[in-house]
Structure 1
């Protein structure tokens, strides 16, 4: 049986998804003995209000360098669980973080690497996808070298908040512009996609912590709902009370754009690949693990909820780092 997970350290708590995860952990604080975050001096300076707010809510803030072994080991003291929310540029750095936990921090029982996206080992083609390589390196290291520390990969699929948003850098990658009432749908528009709101990512992670045996040493495939681009558009039209202007980017065109993006060094190349994977059905699994960790449909946001939130915020921009 897996060890009870009660003392949690979060890395990247003020980042794109980290802020939602730490919020859910704070809301469930009664379930834990200790909540802490490890952050850099520059973050403390640049995000002083956010850090102060965390401290006011009982979160211990530990400051240091994520690439410094001594700093990290000091931060690990007093925790049994590490939740990594680091961004894509720091994914491979997790190998050292996991190694240090395995070799030098016997109190660390479980590590949640930064996943929160497509299951990178689900299909036979996954191993060749360029955006998957850093996460695959982390998983391969865990398989080959980790024996004591348990792990959980929380696989959420794309963030609903960003998939249903405006993508101004290149709308042909799929975009829902609330202000202009314009949408670009990917594929046929009928291709299913599994989405998770960022708020639900936090709730699902807390559920995984509360069910340590069910979540032990595995990829948990979870989501808020499954839908299609056409259903997203229909819900926008229903809630805004107007018909939208609609265009399409076919799967073949998306593949061509993806190829050109990588060849030209386009900074959005990884997003082209991910959105092609999603349009091909790369987030549609035989089943989800929601109920395995005690999460039921009524506990999670629906498509209607996600659209309502998007409209109330006037459409969150699908910015680059978050869309990965």
Structure 2
């Protein structure tokens, strides 16, 4: 590959996975462009995301899937096009393909996938609720190949940030946990930021040309039973297991409404992964695909403490209560970590150097009164707070809301050393 970095355009850049792909592209030094609709640019809910793009040096290109001319104009400025559009827009990727064909300069196209390998899911059409999402992905693959467009497909299965905070349920379990089947088939649970990194690394890699990249880090492969066991170990509370039969699950899926984000689709994916083992039930054919961690062994990914016996460095323990300004609403939050304070004596973001004395200007709005719905948001805010306090540690955050047992999360702030030691719950 040339030493000059490929220019990358991300379509769907403000969505759940799109923003992680854009961030990874910028971090890896690519000239990065985000296709932005005019309506998005004026949307207050997207303002923070767009501001973060500008801060990271990401350039907006204004365009729309329904505006062919704007698409072609944007695509002519880049080498690689990555689609991260949501399920409502999957079929509309044909418009991206048409624009790529007219532009004539694209070296690689990555369609919106980031889940199961749709060509290996048997009888997907039998479940209408799942077919509404997976069939368009399969059809887009066929169109890309027929057009002769160079491509790479990313298959990673579960977004860990969406599933592990509540143990693959709608909300974290309190006394009971619902398990699909016998709970033994395994899935892959990968942090969204790592999916973004794998995507960008594969985007211009000659080894991934016209292939599927499967992200299967060994430390991220878990059965539902294993996830429950880790949860119980971390909370110190045994959960009553409620096992669902395949017949009951299929009945519920088929009775659910069909749509882009329905309950039936969510259940259908769980059924395929946690009951049928669709994520891992095959060997990777080298002529068709490659495994991401084998391609990029230098990349550290987030894995989850417990079943794989990850160990933290043997350094001094410390425990720090969250300062009073952060205790809004009910419940408590306590940080436990292993590490040491920054040796410089100065916090990364101003303020004092003692625990709990950092500058809180960037750390507003901490509240665990609505736990667990905003646990990821709270985790992000706490990470910011700890940076303010100059921690060089791998802290463990314990949320103690009134109605739930403690849920633990490890937030490695020195990611170059501790990134392999994070847990999402």
Structure 1 residue 281: Cα displacement? 0.7
Instruction: Return closer, same or farther for 1:217/1:269 CA change in 2, 3 Å cut-off.
Output: same
Q: Paired residue for 2:80?
A: 81
CA distance in 2, matches of 1:258, 1:267: 10
Q: Paired residue for 2:151?
A: 151
In the alignment, which of 187, 211, 214 is matched to residue 218 of structure 1? 211
Decide which moves more: 120-129 or 85-94: 120-129
Q: Paired residue for 2:269?
A: 274
In the alignment, which of 188, 192, 201 is matched to residue 207 of structure 1? 201
Structure 1 residue 63: Cα displacement? 1.7
Instruction: Return closer, same or farther for 1:282/1:252 CA change in 2, 3 Å cut-off.
Output: same
Across the aligned residues of Structure 1 and Structure 2, the Cα RMSD in angstroms comes to 3.2
CA distance in 2, matches of 1:150, 1:182: 48
The unaligned stretches of length 5 or more in structure 2 are 285-289, 308-333, 336-367, 376-425
Does the Cα contact within 8 Å between 2:88 and 2:260 map onto a contact in 1? no
CA distance in 2, matches of 1:56, 1:92: 32
The correspondence of residues 67-78 of structure 1 with structure 2, limited to 5 A, is 67-78=66-77
Q: Deviations over 1:238-270 (max 9, x none)?
A: 222222343222222111111222589993222
Structure 1 residue 45: Cα displacement? 1.6
Instruction: Return closer, same or farther for 1:2/1:252 CA change in 2, 3 Å cut-off.
Output: farther
Q: Paired residue for 2:187?
A: 193
The correspondence of residues 8-19 of structure 1 with structure 2, limited to 5 A, is 8-19=8-19
Q: Deviations over 1:158-179 (max 9, x none)?
A: 2122232439xxxxxx517447
Q: Paired residue for 2:279?
A: 283
Instruction: Return closer, same or farther for 1:17/1:243 CA change in 2, 3 Å cut-off.
Output: same
CA distance in 2, matches of 1:316, 1:201: 23
Structure 1 residue 93: Cα displacement? 0.8
Q: Paired residue for 2:60?
A: 61
Q: Deviations over 1:155-209 (max 9, x none)?
A: 1112122232439xxxxxx517447354222111122222222121112112213
Structure 1 residue 304: Cα displacement? 2.4
Does the Cα contact within 8 Å between 2:230 and 2:306 map onto a contact in 1? no
Does residue 184 (structure 1) correspond to residue 178 (structure 2)? The answer is yes
TM-score w.r.t. length of structure 1 = 0.82
TM-score w.r.t. length of structure 2 = 0.64
> What SS does structure 2 have at the residue aligned with 1:86?
coil
The correspondence of residues 230-241 of structure 1 with structure 2, limited to 5 A, is 230-241=225-236
Q: Paired residue for 1:96?
A: 95
Does residue 258 (structure 1) correspond to residue 258 (structure 2)? The answer is no
Structure 1 residue 109: Cα displacement? 1.1
Q: Deviations over 1:42-99 (max 9, x none)?
A: 2112212221221122110112222111111111122000011000010111112112
CA distance in 1, matches of 2:106, 2:259: 43
Q: Deviations over 1:299-323 (max 9, x none)?
A: 11213299xxxx99965679xxxxx
CA distance in 2, matches of 1:138, 1:214: 22
> What SS does structure 1 have at the residue aligned with 2:241?
strand
Instruction: Return closer, same or farther for 1:57/1:161 CA change in 2, 3 Å cut-off.
Output: closer
Which portions of structure 1, spanning 4 or more consecutive aligned residues, are displaced by more than 6 angstroms? Answer: 1-5, 263-266
The unaligned stretches of length 5 or more in structure 1 are 168-173, 319-324
